[in-house]
């Protein structure tokens, strides 16, 4: 049966001399793999420019449960990710890495899909706020269903990174954020980032703590090879 859906390109790899294997996060079916013949020769139905990670596509395909890779029948690119500045390009690569490790096969998450399509991806093509990366990382956790529980916060609390709750008193767990970082996480989750001052040390520490949080809640092998560039930006 021919199925029409909206999808976000997550990963594309070259297959053979000119074909591509592309994994697309679809709104209705979760992550779906596609075999795209002659993509790198631009002789097939799908242009290789459409297959850049984070592009938003409208596509039609015949869904066959017996096949691990589907075939695209028709496709239109609704949104093309075009990071221009150095900071946008760095941000783009970090977000691609996060999603490639966060998005799992056979998981359907409508809230996450809508957040990516409506908010996270458009931000790549705009002027970035100093705290944009931590803001998006925390929002991804929220829409994935494992963000810290803000109901447990108080100004003297430390965030327990493993259990996702704010703790009173001296920390008794192995993985936690200090009071300053815990406070910023709460501020981002409740008020956003526009009111936050630039603080390179705090931003670095917050990103490091969030990477650890992803390791503990998303995948123990989680890592961001392109993070170093973002960490150095002021």
**To which residue do tokens 């300053």 refer?**
180
Total residues found in the chain within this entry: 234
Q: What is the pLDDT of residue 114?
A: 96
Q: What is the pLDDT of residue 141?
A: 97
- In the chain, the domains with their CATH numbers are 2-79 (2.40.50.140), 86-232 (1.20.1440.120)
**Residue ranges of the chain whose pLDDT lies below 70:** 229-234
CA distance 190 to 137: 14
> pLDDT by residue (tens digit) across 81-106?
888 888 899 899 999 999 999 998 87
Predicted TM-score (pTM) of this structure: 0.91
Q: What is the pLDDT of residue 95?
A: 95
> pLDDT by residue (tens digit) across 65-77?
778 899 999 999 9
CA distance 23 to 31: 6
């Amino acid at each position: 049966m021919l199925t029409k859906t909206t999808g976000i390109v997550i990963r594309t790899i070259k297959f053979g001399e000119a074909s591509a294997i592309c994994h697309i996060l679809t709104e209705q079916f979760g992550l779906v793999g596609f075999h795209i013949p002659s993509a790198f020769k631009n002789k097939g139905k799908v242009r290789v420019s459409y297959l850049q990670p984070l592009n938003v596509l409208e596509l039609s395909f015949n869904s066959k449960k017996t096949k691990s890779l589907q075939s695209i029948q028709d496709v239109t690119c609704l949104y093309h990710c075009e990071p221009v500045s150095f900071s946008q390009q760095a941000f783009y690569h970090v977000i691609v890495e996060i999603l490639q490790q966060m998005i799992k096969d056979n998981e359907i998450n409508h809230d996450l899909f809508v957040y990516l399509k409506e908010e996270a991806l458009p931000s790549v093509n705009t002027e970035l706020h100093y705290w944009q990366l931590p803001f998006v990382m925390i929002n991804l956790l929220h829409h994935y269903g494992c963000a810290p529980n803000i109901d447990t916060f108080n100004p003297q609390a430390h965030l327990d990174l493993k259990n996702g709750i704010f703790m009173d008193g001296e920390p008794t767990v192995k993985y936690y954020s200090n009071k300053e970082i815990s406070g910023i996480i709460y501020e981002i989750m409740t008020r956003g980032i526009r009111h936050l001052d630039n603080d390179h040390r705090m931003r670095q520490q917050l990103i490091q703590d969030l990477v650890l949080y992803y390791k503990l809640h998303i995948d123990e092998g989680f890592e961001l090879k392109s993070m170093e560039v973002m960490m150095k930006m002021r």
